[in-house]
């Protein structure tokens, strides 16, 4: 019985023959898992005028799993329309193959570009051009792929400083698969979709040649670190494909973590640990956009200004924290809680718009948030009022439901002695 890997090699050999000899790109597309979705790097509609013969070929298979393997292949081509020219064109290819219900399909393909020139063996090192020198000063790691001459170059020492691994990449394919399988954070792998054939074609047509993303890469010493990856596609003279690709990396770990920390802090109220007003509104708006059964409760401390004047800021903050904890304790974990004002809290109650149940919740909140606060020889009874609005056909946005709840809390505070609720 022929093994899966052997069948994959046979399919790759046939693909080379169909593509380079018969100029049949449809064979590759017909054996793709999804014609429009798989990365096809360097695969173009064969339009070269010369006729080729395969002089030699080499394939090597690498097992990824029981149903997935990667075939690294190289084919030497001779232009038989110009026998006087004693040159061979060497094309490298990487095919990711998958067994789908007993049939082998390509899930991605990388080919070095057809150019009719002698293959130049890769040398790891840059040309001493002013441009590359400038890039090296701006970025920590610079990778250059010359698609016309099939050259891939980079500085392994610089690469090691960032990635903390020794590498000896000799092709764009090797680097690409190393990034996908060994380096990138799982949540960021999709960002390499920029190398999909359809994406590159659109970029060339639209002259949108630069892509910049912050990604997480594995670092042996620090775990995952943030780097800025800039990919620059340089088109060929005909503007129908790429001539060069620059992949540029810059360590932005400290800066990015500070930004994320700031963003995270902007979501959370520092005193109570609840969502801030802006973030609460955003999260609730997202929920309301897809759900129609909910209620919004507003809890407001009665006479808070007088309490603050009487006890001072420190004691007032202690009261706010205690109220926040009481609200959290009496709210299901799937509901959304925020501090939306100085002494005002809000709860989005999910999956519920029954007025009777909301009245029960309001009564419980009124009772639980009533307590005596003592500070040395002074005490004060702390009370809250509650306004709850339930969703109906008129509540389509956060503003709609908030307006109703805000009106209810206003009416509750007008009641004698406050410490009341209004639900409708």
Beta bridge partners of 216: 226
Structural domain 130-258, CATH architecture: 2-Layer Sandwich (3.30)
Predicted pLDDT at 149:
80
pLDDT above 50 for 102: yes
Identify the band that residue 81 occupies on the pLDDT scale cut at 50, 70 and 90. confident
The better pLDDT of the pair 172, 297 is held by 297
Given a contact cutoff of 8 angstroms between Cβ atoms, the answer to whether 373 and 382 are in contact is yes
Would you say the C-alpha torsion 193, 198, 201, 206 has a positive or negative sign? negative
- Among 55-59, 85-89, 328-332, 397-401, the minimum mean pLDDT is found in 85-89
CA distance linking residue 311 with residue 317, whole number of Å = 10
Predicted pLDDT at 421:
97
The better pLDDT of the pair 328, 96 is held by 328
pLDDT above 60 for 117: no
Identify the band that residue 136 occupies on the pLDDT scale cut at 50, 70 and 90. low
pLDDT above 90 for 187: no
**Long-range CB contact pairs, 372-380, < 8 A, 24+:** 373/307, 373/311, 373/315, 373/318, 373/319, 375/311, 375/315, 378/310, 378/311, 380/307, 380/310, 380/311
CA distance linking residue 300 with residue 421, whole number of Å = 10
pLDDT above 50 for 3: yes
pLDDT above 70 for 231: yes
Tens of pLDDT along 306-364?
998 888 888 899 999 999 999 999 999 999 999 999 999 999 999 999 999 999 999 99
CA-wise closest residue to 8 among 76, 92, 95: 95
Predicted pLDDT at 404:
97
Backbone angles phi, psi at 252, to 5 degrees: -125, 25
Tens of pLDDT along 197-225?
777 877 888 888 888 899 999 987 888 99
C-alpha distances (whole Å) from 244 to each of 124, 133, 147, 178, 224 are 16, 17, 5, 20, 29
Q: Which class in CATH covers the domain with range 268-423? A: alpha beta
pLDDT above 90 for 32: no
The better pLDDT of the pair 337, 96 is held by 337
CA distance linking residue 95 with residue 38, whole number of Å = 11
Predicted pLDDT at 124:
36
Query: What percent of the chain stands above pLDDT 70?
Result: 91
Predicted pLDDT at 380:
93
| Cα–chain center distance at 178 | 19
Q: Pairing mode, if any, of strands 40-41 and 103-111? A: parallel
Question: pTM score, two decimals?
Answer: 0.47
Show me where the domains of the chain are located. Answer: 4-111, 130-258, 268-423
Could you tell me which CATH number the domain at 4-111 has? 3.10.450.50
Identify the band that residue 399 occupies on the pLDDT scale cut at 50, 70 and 90. very high
pLDDT above 80 for 137: no
Tallying the residues shown for the chain, one arrives at 424
The better pLDDT of the pair 129, 335 is held by 335
Q: Which residue has the tokens 């902007």?
A: 266
Predicted pLDDT at 14:
95
């Amino acid at each position: 019985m022929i093994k899966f890997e052997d069948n994959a090699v046979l399919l790759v050999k046939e693909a080379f023959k169909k593509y380079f000899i018969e100029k049949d790109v449809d064979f590759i597309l017909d054996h793709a898992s999804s014609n429009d979705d798989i990365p096809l790097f360097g695969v173009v509609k064969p339009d070269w005028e010369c006729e080729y013969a395969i002089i030699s070929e080499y394939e090597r298979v690498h097992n990824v799993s029981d149903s997935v393997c990667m075939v690294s292949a190289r084919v030497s081509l001779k232009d038989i329309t110009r026998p006087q020219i004693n040159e061979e064109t060497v094309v490298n290819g990487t095919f990711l193959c998958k067994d789908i219900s007993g049939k082998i399909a390509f899930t991605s393909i990388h080919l070095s570009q057809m150019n009719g020139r002698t293959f130049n063996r890769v040398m790891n090192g840059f040309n001493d051009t002013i441009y590359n020198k400038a890039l090296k000063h701006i970025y920590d790691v610079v990778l250059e792929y010359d698609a016309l001459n099939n050259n891939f170059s980079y500085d392994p020492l610089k690469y090691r400083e960032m990635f903390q691994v020794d590498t000896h990449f000799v092709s764009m394919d090797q680097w690409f698969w190393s990034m996908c399988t060994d380096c990138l954070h799982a949540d960021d792998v999709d960002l390499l979709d920029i190398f999909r054939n359809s994406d590159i074609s659109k970029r060339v047509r639209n002259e949108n040649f630069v892509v910049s993303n912050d990604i997480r890469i594995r670092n042996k010493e620090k775990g995952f670190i943030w780097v800025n990856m800039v990919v620059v596609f340089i088109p060929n003279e005909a503007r129908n494909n790429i001539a060069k690709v620059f992949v540029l990396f810059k360590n932005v770990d400290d800066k990015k973590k500070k930004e994320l920390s700031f963003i995270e802090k902007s979501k959370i109220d520092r005193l109570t640990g609840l969502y801030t007003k802006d973030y609460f509104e955003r999260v609730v708006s997202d929920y309301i956009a897809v759900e129609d059964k909910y209620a919004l409760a507003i809890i407001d401390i009665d006479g808070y200004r007088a309490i603050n004047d009487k006890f001072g800021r420190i004691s007032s903050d202690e009261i706010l924290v205690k109220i926040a904890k009481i609200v959290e304790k009496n709210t299901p974990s799937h509901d959304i809680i925020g501090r939306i004002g100085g002494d005002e809290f809000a709860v989005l109650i999910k999956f519920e718009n029954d007025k009777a149940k909301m009245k029960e919740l309001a009564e419980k909140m009124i009772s639980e948030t009533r307590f005596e606060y003592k500070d040395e020889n002074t005490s004060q009874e702390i009370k809250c009022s509650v306004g709850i609005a339930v969703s109906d056909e008129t509540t389509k946005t956060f503003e709609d439901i908030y307006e109703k709840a805000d009106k209810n809390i206003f009416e509750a505070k007008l009641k004698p002695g406050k410490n009341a609720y209004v639900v409708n």
